[in-house]
Structure 1
Amino acid sequence: MRSNIRLTLRVGASIAFIAAATFVLNRLIPVNPTTAGFLYLVAILLVATKGGLVESTVASVAAMLCFNFFFLPPIGTLTIADPQNWVALFAFLATSLTASQLSARAKRRALEAEQRRGEVERLYALSRALLLVETSKPIAKQIVQQIALTCEVPGVALYVRASGEIYRAGLADTDVESKLRESTVRSTVLEDADRNLIITPIRLGGEPIGGLAFSGGAFSDAALQSLLNLVAIALERANSQKAVTQAEVARQSEELKSTLLDAIAHEFKTPLTSIKAVTTDLLSGMPGDLQPHQHELISIADESADRLSKLVSDAIQLARIEGGTFRLNLGLHFPSSLINAALRQMKSVVDERKIEVLVPDDLPPVRVDGELIQVVLTHLLDNALKYSPPSNPITIGARLSDNKIIVYLSDQGQGIAEEEQKQIFEKFYRGRNERHLQGTGMGLAIAREILRAHGEDIALSSFPGQGSEFSFGLRIAPGGISQ
């Protein structure tokens, strides 16, 4: 309605301008028809420059009528006596209409160029503002605020599909939320001409990641697409920044935990060594030096010291592995020597169990860190001893396969359910039905990390009621003898 009124006023002004020019040319400064025709053309160009195509066209018709009435004989009528004047009149009309159209087109292009320049400047300012947003505050909220401020848009709303949240800046329509979600899911543009509202999806890599609604703003198609790309990049940057921050926090937390664990474990080592020395000395004394109940109590303290010492050693091993402070000391070792060394370390607990060792004598040596591989074997042995009945034998052996030595350890326990087989290698996991058994749940995690440092991993084959077999490969040394 307002635009129609403004157009009517501009048309009236152009007619008034032609009327004023006619009065000047006819009354104040009398001129001949040729001069009047040129001056009318100048007036039409001025109208086209200040107005538009409609105004200049109306002015051309009005100027043609005035030119005919006041300057072409017979004067004072709209008839033309000389046929040549008809040609001149229509030539004047054609020239004035063409000139007005060309002038209006030039003006329109100049206005469009100015609008494009303004859009580019606003988009540049917006891109700079989005690069400088504060990561400590919600980035999506800052995006809508910057769009409203930089692009001079009265109302903006942003829907982030990943979080399901909607952020607003001056757009309080209640039905915008449902339309934003609809536009995002359907990946279509929704428009409401009555409220000058546009809702468009935001895409990244061809997938809709959200929706943007704005009212009271006008963007060209290219500018709108550029704006959506900036918003998509800003949201993706926010997600990346969040992931990096979470990863850094997790890394620092893991480092702190490993450092604390290592420090506490080392603090336990010294008193444990003293306790073990005292209990060993007391138990190695003369048989009559201790009463039976005293001997039993000291034996319990001695066994508890052993368990606590193993727990502390596991904690130190795990802290060093997670902290990346342990290094491989590679050397040449025969598989039989590694297995026998592990059995000797476990002598106090394996003497009462039946252990079958199946290692051929002609196996070639492997290039590994001998001490760490012995740690792997002791953890696997300890696990088998805990989770298999005392009357059932445990088998440990090695065989040659595909240029590797496969070391395996099998038991005849209850087996491990399929859904638990991946979890048992996680830190502190002890099995769903075995909470009553002693242990920390660190042994298999330590064993797996040691083997991964060698470029290998642990394989598990287990079925409920049929026992379990753990196995891992060791690379054959290119040559040499055992240490």
Structure 2
Amino acid sequence: MGFSAVARVTTDKWLACAVHDEINFGLVPGGELKLETTICNEIRQHHEAVAIDHVAEDENFVNHHTPLMYGFQSYISMPIILKDGTFFGTLCAIDPKPAKVNNPTTVGMFKMFADLIAFHLDALEQLSISNKNLQIEKETSELREQFIAILGHDLRNPLNAVANSAQLLARINLEDRTQKLVKIIKDSSFRMNGLIENMLDFASGRLGGGIAIARTPDEDLEHVLFQVVEEIQAISPDRKITMNFDMLHPVSADGKRIAQLFSNLLGNALNYSPPGAVIDITAISNTEEFTLCVANPGKQISESTIERLFQPFSRGEVEPNQKGLGLGLYISSEIAKAHGGSLAVSSTAEQTCFTLSLPVIK
């Protein structure tokens, strides 16, 4: 065939996408034909292939306006149908001389090439969509990072003001009661800064590799745990908390992270237990393991909830006065993993207990 083309055919346009011209037909890529003058326009409507060996001997096309206008005697055109069923256009060929095209071999070959073109067009479309989505995700990521950076800055400013004010208050007021309150403020400010850092790390997607820890050999975890309880009791003086510590062996751990984990567990125990309930805390270290158990009475946690309890943004049944993002247990679990340990939960109708287990590094 002297001329062939891949044509984009719409309701109002015939456009050449690619051409092969050996008869000086005169069309180049981007060239157009008047839609109504083409047989491709008819194929657009019925989606069937058209193959003509010799126009002068074909009773259906001998008087057709298209061969008369463009002066061809042989013609073949195959519809290009995309994966979603959309009609794209045609793969067509013409020649001023008769040719044997209306046979299974030639028609099958054109069908195969039309399908390959459709596959290629679908792939290009998917690639275009992927690139657009990637660009949107990139822009969203940049906005998210900017938001996180601004949020972190805005949170740290008032927190630093609180910490600095506590230091100033400690210098100008030496009363024991004041000094105790100042210490609580300072310690709480320090841990709040750590919480902000965790939130920013999580929000910016940097927790995929786990939370980084800075171990201190022979960390005084008993002091760390007492400090957290002291802070919680200062906020909730009417709540009953019992402590049973048996720390026989030193533990290599990140005290700040363990305090963060313990604060999450203790806060949850207070939130999910009746006001008059007693929260039992047990901490034991021996030559093999450090365990910390926080137990409270309250509603039993269902098995389905336990399965997703340590996932981010997952929470148990929430009462109207209970607020939070559902990150506390997830971050606590990540802290346990970072120490080579684990955080587990058991729940019955009488009691719910969260247990941290860490290996003692010798």
TM-score by length of 1: 0.45
Match of 1:255 in 2: 145
Q: Offset of 1:259 from its aligned partner? A: 1.2
Residue aligning to 2:48 = 191
Aligned-residue Cα RMSD (Å) equals 5.2
Aligned residue runs from structure 1 range 456-471, under 5 A: 458-462=343-347, 465-471=349-355
Say if 1:231 and 1:366 are closer, same or farther in 2 by CA, change over 3 A. Answer: farther
TM-superposition CA deviations, 1:72-113 (whole Å, max 9, x none): xxxxxxxxxxxxxxxxxxxxxxxxxxxxxxxxxxxxxxx4xx
1:379 to 264, 268, 280: 264
* Counterpart code for 2:352: S
Whether the aligned pair in 2 keeps the contact of 1:426 and 1:445 (CA below 8 Å) is: yes
Structure 2 distance, partners of 1:327, 1:375, is: 13
Distance in 1 (alpha carbons) for counterparts of 2:247 and 2:186: 37
CA distance in 2, matches of 1:172, 1:309: 76
Contact persistence 2:241–2:278 (CA under 8 A): yes
Query: Post-superposition shift, 1:406?
Result: 5.3
Counterpart CA distance in 2 for 1:305 and 1:331 is: 21
- Counterpart of 1:220 in structure 2 is 110
Alpha-carbon distance, 1:227 to partner = 0.7
8 Å Cα contact 1:415/1:468 also seen in 2: yes
2:85 aligns to what SS in structure 1? strand
User: Mind listing any 5+ residue stretches in structure 2 that lack a counterpart?
Assistant: 20-28, 34-39, 51-59, 61-76, 93-108
Instruction: Specify which of 238, 241, 245 is matched with residue 354 of structure 1.
Output: 241
Query: What letter is aligned with 1:353?
Result: K
Measured at CA, do residues 281 and 476 of structure 1 come closer, stay the same or move farther in structure 2, by a change above 3 Å? closer
Q: Is the 8 A contact 1:396 1:408 kept in 2?
A: yes
Please report how far the alpha carbon of residue 315 of structure 1 lies from its aligned counterpart in structure 2 after TM superposition.
2.5
Instruction: Indicate the structure with greater helix content.
Output: 1
Q: 1:263 to 1:457 in 2, by over 3 A?
A: farther
Q: Is the 8 A contact 1:359 1:398 kept in 2?
A: yes
The TM-score normalised by the length of structure 2 is: 0.57
How many residues were matched structurally? Answer: 290
Structure of greater relative contact order (alpha carbons < 8 Å, 6+ residues apart): 2
Tell me what 1:149 maps to.
Answer: 17
| SS of residue in 1 equivalent to 2:298 | coil
* Residue 195 (structure 2) aligns with: 314
Aligned to 1:344: 227
- The answer on whether the counterparts of 1:198 and 1:215 sit within 8 Å (CA) in structure 2 is yes
**Distance in 2 between residues matched to 1:224 and 1:375, nearest whole Å:** 63
5+ residue gaps, structure 1, are 1-110, 127-144, 156-169, 177-189, 203-209, 288-294
Distance apart, 1:271 and its partner CA = 2.7
- SS in structure 2 opposite 1:221? helix
Deviates more, 1:212-221 or 1:228-237: 212-221
User: Which protein shows a greater Rg?
Assistant: 1
CA contact (8 A) 1:261 1:315 kept: no
Structure with greater strand share of residues: 2
1:37-86 CA-partner distances (Å, limit 9, x unpaired)? xxxxxxxxxxxxxxxxxxxxxxxxxxxxxxxxxxxxxxxxxxxxxxxxxx
Instruction: State, as a whole percentage, how many aligned pairs show the same letter.
Output: 16
Would the alpha carbon gap of residues 154 and 358 (structure 1) be closer, same or farther in structure 2, given more than 3 Å must change? Answer: farther
8 Å CA contact retained: 1:343, 1:378: no
* TM-superposed deviation, 1:263: 0.5
Which letter does structure 1 place at the counterpart of 2:17?
A: L
